[in-house]
């Protein structure tokens, strides 16, 4: 088994798994997402030296969707502290889909900040009026990736907002339970963060950042924070792939976060960041070809944290 991660190795893995595109389904519950090009596929790694190695449709932009939840968690913890963020939220995993009400009705508390309910609450904790919270999340992503061109897709945002009644329902239930203060702008920030567009290389840089104590791929950072990177990676590990997280930990074995736009970001703790992209999803809302590319990648380089 080789230890050198190069473009050729990534291309081989990509080609081997390209056919999974046909077996997945594009997210169509957000109508604008249904327009995504189903055949786009890409794979990128930010290696231990911070070099970006990538293959496939590496310039293709897609929306982050739930991957934005890890950035929102970082910003919220920085602003109000971990104990305040988790005062009314669990560190639990879940056997339910990402948009499940879970135990909002009973204990009133979201399970974790990776499922929609907890993520909507997390974003509501970020200080400011109107779209301030969204801007902070966007600026953090631009900082981590050193990519100032990153912005949100307005058509996807409008589509999320128009059809996001389940998210709206959870927002108002949590507001009713006194867990969220503020008006619907707070929910709007969540819809906007989901609509942030980036490339697979940007994802690899985000993976690198959380894998390496919140230090950027080029080695500098004003946010270095070991505890924060441990928190984020542990949440990714137990809930980042929703109800598939346990099986994913068993098979891939890396803290990872998926989004229904077809992206998955993965961290090899203390080492590298990985980004994969392919829109067709499995029944849990995780990129199918993306999962299989990660599986082969981890096997080839012995990268599971449980190795």
β 196-198/52-56 pair status: unpaired
Spatial distance between the Cα atoms of 32 and 264, rounded to a whole number of angstroms? 20
What are φ and ψ of residue 30, in 5° steps? -110, 100
3-state secondary structure of 296: helix
Residue 172 Cα distances to 149, 166, 182, angstroms: 34, 10, 10
β 151-152/256-258 pair status: unpaired
Task: Enumerate residues 29-58 that contact ligand GLN by CB under 6 A.
Answer: none
Cβ closer to ligand GLN: 65 or 145? 65
Sheet-wide strand order for 151-152: 62-63, 196-198, 151-152
Task: Enumerate residues 80-99 that contact ligand GLN by CB under 6 A.
Answer: 98-99
Binding-site residues sit at 66, 116, 160, 167, 190, 242, 260
> Sign (positive/negative) of CA torsion 296, 214, 201, 271?
negative
**Dihedral, 34, 39, 40, 44 alpha carbons, nearest 10:** 120
Cβ closer to ligand GLN: 124 or 167? 167
Confirm or reject binding of residue 285 to ligand GLN (CB under 6 A): yes
Confirm or reject binding of residue 255 to ligand GLN (CB under 6 A): no
Task: Tell me which of 14, 44, 77, 194 binds ligand GLN, using CB under 6 A.
Answer: 194
Task: Tell me which of 57, 160, 188, 282 binds ligand GLN, using CB under 6 A.
Answer: 160
Confirm or reject binding of residue 167 to ligand GLN (CB under 6 A): yes
Binding-site residues for substrate sit at 66, 116, 160, 167, 190, 242, 260
Confirm or reject binding of residue 259 to ligand GLN (CB under 6 A): yes
What minimum distance in Å lies between the beta carbon of 197 and ligand GLN? 13
What minimum distance in Å lies between the beta carbon of 51 and ligand GLN? 29
Task: Tell me which of 17, 55, 65, 233 binds ligand GLN, using CB under 6 A.
Answer: 65
Return the structure tokens found at 266. Answer: 């993965």
Confirm or reject binding of residue 113 to ligand GLN (CB under 6 A): no
Radius of gyration for the alpha carbons in the chain, expressed in angstroms and rounded:
18
Binding positions for ligand GLN, rule: CB under 6 A: 65-66, 98-99, 116, 160, 167, 194, 259-260, 285
């Amino acid at each position: 088994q080789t230890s050198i991660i190069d473009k050729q190795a990534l291309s081989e893995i990509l080609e081997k798994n390209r056919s999974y595109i046909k077996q997945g389904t594009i997210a169509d519950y957000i109508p604008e997402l249904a327009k995504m090009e189903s055949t786009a596929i890409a794979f990128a790694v930010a290696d231990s030296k911070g070099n970006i190695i990538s293959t496939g449709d590496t310039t293709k932009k897609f929306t982050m969707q739930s991957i934005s939840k890890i950035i929102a968690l970082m910003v919220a913890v920085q602003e109000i502290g971990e104990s305040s963020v988790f005062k009314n939220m669990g560190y639990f995993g879940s056997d339910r889909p990402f948009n499940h009400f879970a135990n909002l009705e009973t204990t009133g508390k979201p399970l974790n900040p990776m499922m929609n309910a907890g993520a909507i609450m997390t974003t509501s904790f970020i200080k400011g009026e109107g779209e301030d919270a969204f801007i902070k999340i966007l600026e953090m992503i631009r900082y981590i990736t050193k990519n100032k061109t990153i912005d949100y897709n307005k058509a996807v945002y409008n589509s999320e907002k128009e059809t996001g009644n389940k998210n709206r329902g959870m927002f108002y239930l949590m507001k009713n339970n006194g867990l969220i203060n503020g008006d619907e702008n707070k929910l709007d920030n969540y819809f906007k963060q989901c609509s942030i567009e980036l490339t697979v290389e940007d994802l690899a840089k985000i993976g690198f950042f959380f894998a390496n104590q919140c230090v950027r791929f080029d080695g500098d950072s004003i946010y270095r924070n070991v505890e924060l990177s441990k928190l984020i990676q542990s949440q990714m590990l137990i809930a980042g792939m929703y109800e598939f997280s346990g099986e994913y930990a068993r098979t891939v074995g890396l803290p990872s976060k998926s989004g229904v736009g077809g992206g998955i970001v993965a961290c090899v703790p203390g080492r590298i960041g990985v980004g994969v992209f392919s829109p067709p999803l499995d029944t849990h809302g995780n990129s199918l070809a993306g999962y299989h590319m990660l599986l082969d990648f981890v096997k080839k380089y012995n990268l599971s944290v449980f190795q």
